[in-house]
Chain A
Amino acid sequence: MEITVGDAVPVRATRNRSLVTRIIQSKESAIFLALLIIMGVITYVAPKFMSTSNLFLVSRQVSFVAIVAFGELFVILTGGIDLSVGSLMALAGTAAAYPMSIGMSVTAAVAIGIGVGLLMGAINGWLIAYVKIPPFIVTLGMLSTASGLVLGLTKGWPITNIPVRFLPVAQGEWLKLPIPVWIALALGVVAHVVLTYTAFGRRTYAIGGNEQATFLSGINVKKIKFMLYVISAVAASIVGIILVARFNSAQADTGRGWELDAIAAAVIGGTSLAGGSGSILGVVIGACIMGAIKNGLVLMRVSSYWQTAVIGVIIVLAAGLDRLKAKRS
């Protein structure tokens, strides 16, 4: 038998499923259908939902959650978790807002904010990838540490005196869409390309599928894991900084509980917490579903106390449906 590999002869054509079939059969299309149904129901009960002004607000809110969830997705794809995103939002926001408030250039201040987030992500990544402490513990510790840092440094007082020219980052619009939506779209495209078309992305999925095999394939698993936590922290920091522009101040309790929203958006979007499967598109739809339901409940005058309960039920429902589908196939 000759097994030198010379010219590549296509031995068998890939079964060509048409684009339409692939779209219909994709996991994302089922979730998208769910989104449409949810939006339909909300519109029926509260027609105001579809008004331009309401959709403007909802889409802006959704884009914040989506960006945090993009970062979370990278980590979850390897079977990890990042619980620190919420408090990193507050930390990065504070780190950017303070220099701004004392007159430093907006660009430099934003860079400082992102830099601080990046540093914290690097600490997360180093402890997880190289010291091998479980992600749950490390990021739980970071959640507490970062939030304590913010409270300690600001003594709980908000940082105000934010330069007016920074505010459009959250409050402005372009082509009738809120600026944060454009930022989320841009980041989403980049994240999608990285996950789908680069070796880094392929390896991220591979680690989630079988970490040991990936390691033995000659891939630097530690470096990739390290970078994933940096990515997650930076994504959270970006949102934290935009929220400074949104509220015209940096608040110590910004981002509280957002780690759960981000994880929920990923799970509703079809991401497996065991790692190995999930997509940016799914996360976007997941974030939309959460945003639509939260807003719908507000429009239907349901008390905000009940909202959390509804979201909780939906997360479990989404994961349950996924399980059911996996069982059937």
Chain B
Amino acid sequence: MESALIDMQGICKAFPGVRALNNVDFSVQPGEVVGLLGENGAGKSTLMKVLAGVYKQEAGKVLWQGQATRFHTIQDANQAGISLIFQELNNCPNLKPLDNLFLGRERFLKGLPFLDYSAMRAKALELFAYLGVQVDLDREIGSMSTAVQQMIEIAKALLTDVKLLIMDEPTSSLSDKETAQLFKVIRELKARGISVIFISHKLNEVFEITDRIVVLRDGENAGEINPRTGTMDQLINLMVGRELSTLFTRRTGSGIGGEVLRVEGITGAPRVLDVSFSLNKGEILGVAGLIGAGRTEMARMIIGADPKTRGKVFIEGKLVRIKSPRDAVRAGIAYLPEDRKTQALILPMTVRENLTMSIHSLVLRLGTFLSRAKENAVTDAYVSALDIKISDREQVVNNLSGGNQQKVVIAKWLATKPRILILDEPTRGIDVAAKAEVHRMIGSLADQGVSILLISSELPEVLSLADRVLVMHEGRVKAILAQSEATQETIMNAALVTEVQEVSA
């Protein structure tokens, strides 16, 4: 066997009070695509940060191309040929693709301090052609889709002599089509001898793209799986250390009642065209579609966060005017946004403060002052009901794991006692166990009579939970499928195919 590109041996790293990594071994061969899996907090990010020189390990060594190495900064690692592509993209949204691509590596006109745009343009077009993406070089990159921005990041890595690409949740906001494109690129890179570390919560993708899957659990090596011979169950077993048979079993909605919410002809910029549907009591209506199909935009219009140019919302048959999220809360609609950190949580505030954010009027004393006792009571009740793992209700939410943060958001909205719950990607970026818990919670809420609109890009999630599935395509309702009709194929067909079809309601 030739020497590994990177070989980490016996890595130990502790933080105050936490043993983050304990004697972890991890290696990548040249041209190998390695999946790195584990629940949140299993030590994946810490391991990658040790690799890239962000953290210094207490014990163990890192061999880079056979040489004992220690990178002192990310720049060091970059220099050596390691590129990191993070979940949250690191780019300047106000700049155009060329300026982003060549930031810090600008090409200059010979002997002059001026940028050589024609050289940069030529190089960029070459890279984009190689990656198979169409990029408008004259637009600010902030206005482009995540998929395109990610490709620009990869192009940036290719500009340097990259040997190892670390991708942390690269597909979390990509549609299936875009993911397929990304995988094509990963295979290209692999063929050129570039290695990839692929970190993801989407297990089927990990099986599809990787050559080898390394699983961490509680900061230790839990084992490895060969994606060609191993099974999903074995992988989950390694990750959580127990069977999760409840994962992705199909829910049978019982006791679905009459119509609670009816949306008629909602239209607005950008990307929402004449959307109509109805939602019944205790029903889970899944909303599927590609990224950019207008699902989040539609939800934001329903709750009044963005203006709609046309369309009506009826609750229990009565027309309601919802002009702001405040009106929505009053009408009994709760909306869990897709990005909990930027849209749902006040990160520097405590669990208690976040949890009572939408119910201040219910926790008052003398009608004026916030009652700490009432706030505490509500917080404790939901913390225990949702099994939120915190040491203290005064803990700052920024320090919680993704799964627990999401539970705080759910608790905050359940506290408003909503009749209608709109969930936008409720399990994005949370670990397998927490995901299963959130799924059970959603099912249980529907059983208690809450009507749920479940926007999700994960088809297994939609298929296992939804009573009906609404598929959006380019801002329109393309199909509404009954549970019996909804399969991976019928949904993807509706989401992908462009020609106009009869809408089945």
Interface residues in chain A, defined as those with a beta carbon under 8 Å from any beta carbon in chain B: 1-12, 14-15, 193, 197-199, 202-203, 205-206, 209-210, 212-220, 276-277
Contact = CB atoms under 8 A, between A and B. Distances in A.
A203 to B, nearest CB: 7
Contact of B349 (A14, A206, A216): A206
B343 A216 contact: yes
B344 interface: yes
24 contacts: A2-B385, A2-B444, A7-B381, A10-B377, A12-B380, A12-B390, A12-B393, A14-B393, A15-B394, A198-B370, A199-B361, A202-B357, A202-B360, A206-B353, A209-B346, A209-B349, A212-B342, A215-B325, A216-B343, A217-B329, A217-B357, A217-B358, A219-B357, A219-B358
Contacts of B377: 8, 10
Nearest to B324: A220
Contacts of B382: 5
A19 B337 CA distance: 38
B345 A213 contact: yes
Given A8-B381, A10-B377, A11-B380, 14 more contacts: A1-B441, A1-B444, A4-B448, A8-B378, A12-B391, A12-B393, A15-B392, A202-B357, A202-B360, A202-B370, A213-B337, A216-B305, A218-B324, A220-B324
B368 interface: yes
A5 B387 CA distance: 12
B197 to A, nearest CB: 29
A185 B357 CA distance: 30
Contact of B342 (A4, A6, A213, A220): A213
A11 B361 contact: no
Interface in B302-348: 303, 305, 324-326, 328-330, 335, 337, 342-348
Interface in B467-498: none
A199 B385 contact: no
A26 to B, nearest CB: 14
A218 B358 contact: yes
Contacts of A199: 360-361, 364, 370
B444 A277 contact: no
Give the top 4 A-B pairs by smallest Cβ distance, nearest first: A218-B329, A199-B360, A209-B346, A8-B377
B345 A14 contact: no
A216 to B, nearest CB: 5
B381 A9 contact: yes
A15 B343 contact: no
A141 B335 CA distance: 38
A17 to B, nearest CB: 9
Given A199-B361, A210-B345, A3 B386 contact: yes
Given A8-B380, A218-B326, A220-B326, A1 B342 contact: no
Nearest to B443: A1
B54 interface: no
A218 B347 contact: no
B412 A217 contact: yes
A2 B440 CA distance: 10
Contacts of A7: 381
Nearest to B417: A5
Nearest to A193: B369
Nearest to A207: B346
A210 B347 contact: yes
Contacts of A218: 324-326, 328-330, 358, 416
Interface of B: 303, 305, 324-326, 328-330, 335, 337, 342-349, 353, 357-358, 360-361, 364, 368-370, 376-378, 380-386, 390-394, 412, 414-416, 437, 440-441, 444-445, 448
Given A11-B384, A216-B343, A218-B326, A3 B357 contact: no
Nearest to B412: A217
Given A9-B384, A11-B380, A214 B346 contact: yes
A212 B441 contact: no
Contacts of B380: 8-12
A218 B331 CA distance: 11
A15 B326 CA distance: 34
A5 B345 contact: no
Contacts of B393: 12, 14
Contacts of A219: 325-326, 357-358
A3 B324 contact: no
Contacts of B412: 217
B392 A14 contact: yes
Nearest to B450: A3
| From A7, A15, A193, residue with most partner B Cβ within 10 Å | A15
Nearest to A220: B326
Contacts of B391: 12, 15
A2 B325 CA distance: 28
A210 B341 CA distance: 9
Contacts of B360: 199, 202-203
A216 B361 contact: no
Nearest to B398: A209
Contacts of B414: 3, 5
Contacts of B440: 1
Contacts of A2: 385, 444
A198 B369 contact: yes
A9 B393 CA distance: 13
Given A3-B445, A214-B357, A11 B394 contact: no
A11 B384 CA distance: 6
A5 B385 contact: yes
Contacts of B349: 205-206, 209
A6 B377 CA distance: 11
A216 B413 CA distance: 11
Contact of A198 (B368, B378, B381, B437): B368
A7 to B, nearest CB: 8
A212 B328 CA distance: 15
Contacts of A8: 377-378, 380-381
Nearest to A10: B380
Given A10-B376, A217-B357, A209 B325 contact: no
| From A6, A206, A217, residue with most partner B Cβ within 10 Å | A217
A21 to B, nearest CB: 13
A199 B360 CA distance: 6
A209 B347 contact: yes
A218 B305 CA distance: 9
A136 to B, nearest CB: 18
A6 B330 CA distance: 22
A203 B349 CA distance: 11
Contacts of A220: 324, 326
A316 B325 CA distance: 40
Contacts of B370: 197-199, 202
Nearest to A277: B348
Contacts of A1: 437, 440-441, 444
A205 B349 CA distance: 9
| From B368, B386, B440, residue with most partner A Cβ within 10 Å | B368
Contacts of B369: 193, 197-198
Nearest to B386: A3
| From A5, A9, A212, A214, residue with most partner B Cβ within 10 Å | A5
Nearest to B333: A218
A222 to B, nearest CB: 9
A216 B325 CA distance: 6
